[in-house]
Each structure stands twice: as C-alpha cells, then as structure tokens.
Amino acid sequence: MKLFGERRRKRPGRLEIIPMIDVMFLLLVFYILSTAALVHQQAIPVDLPAANTAEAGKEVPEVTVTVTRAGEIYLNKDKVDPGGLAQAVQQMARTHPEGMRGLQEHGVILNADMQVMHKQVVEVMDTLRGLGIVRFAIATDSHGTTP
C-alpha cells in the first residue's frame, strides 16, 4: 500500500483562448475610444444653448462660423473681423473642393454662444445670405434644457 496514493500523470498544457479574447476586446475598446477622442473639431468652444430635439451624429458641413460671448467671430478656428467675414468666406471658397457652390449646397454651422445678442447672429446670417449661403445649422447642446 502506498502512503500518498498514486502519482497523477501531468496533462499536456492547454492554450486558454478566452483570456486572449478578453484582451483583444479590451484593445478594441481602447482603440475606438482613443480614435473618438482624436476627432478634429473645427469650431471654437462656446457655451451652446440646450435643445431637447438636438440631433447628434449627423454629418456636418465643413464650415463653422462661431460667435463668442465677447462678440468675436471665427471662421472655423480663424478669427475674422465682423466686416471681413464675407471676404474670408470667399477666400475659403477658393480652397474648398467644391468652391462657393459647395458651401451654398452644404450650408454652414452657426455656433453662437447663448449669451450673444440675437442681433449679432442675425448680422452673421445676413452676411452669409449675401454670399448665397442660405442653409444654416444652429449648433446646440443636446444635454437637456437650458438653465
């Protein structure tokens, strides 16, 4: 009679695939989140008004006109004098792949701080309408109602 019983045979090593799949999913999530963080924003950050019906994830035009709380105007990220907005848009249209016609078809995003006077936003819209740009998307915050 043996004291400690029979010695068991060693089983051959197995490659566990489930932990490897977990690591691959973790890498995939990290890649997706880091790619989403690298999205190039073409506008100056401002305090946007909230809207319950704001649409997220829509394809947006390439041109953003921002009016800051201080009344400064930006075309994408370039500061523009209020009187020089039309000239700046025309200059941008020269480098735009579809030219002014493309800007007129795709429209412009108006990114105005909620503290800006309505008059300033209307003046910007009037300037753009003078160039034939009549399609506007007003940027809003989709996080509920305004305070």
Write out pLDDT tens, residues 60-78. 346 889 999 888 999 888 8
Span 123-143, average pLDDT: 84
Q: What is the pTM of this model?
A: 0.57
Span 105-120, average pLDDT: 87
87, two tokens: 């000239």
Per-residue pLDDT, 98: 77
Determine whether 19 is exposed, middle or buried from the number of CB atoms within 10 Å of its CB (0-12, 13-18, 19+).
exposed
What are the boundaries of each domain within the chain? 64-138
pLDDT of 144 higher than 80: no
Instruction: Judge: domain 64-138, CATH 3.30.420.270.
Output: yes
Decide: helix, strand or coil at residue 38: coil
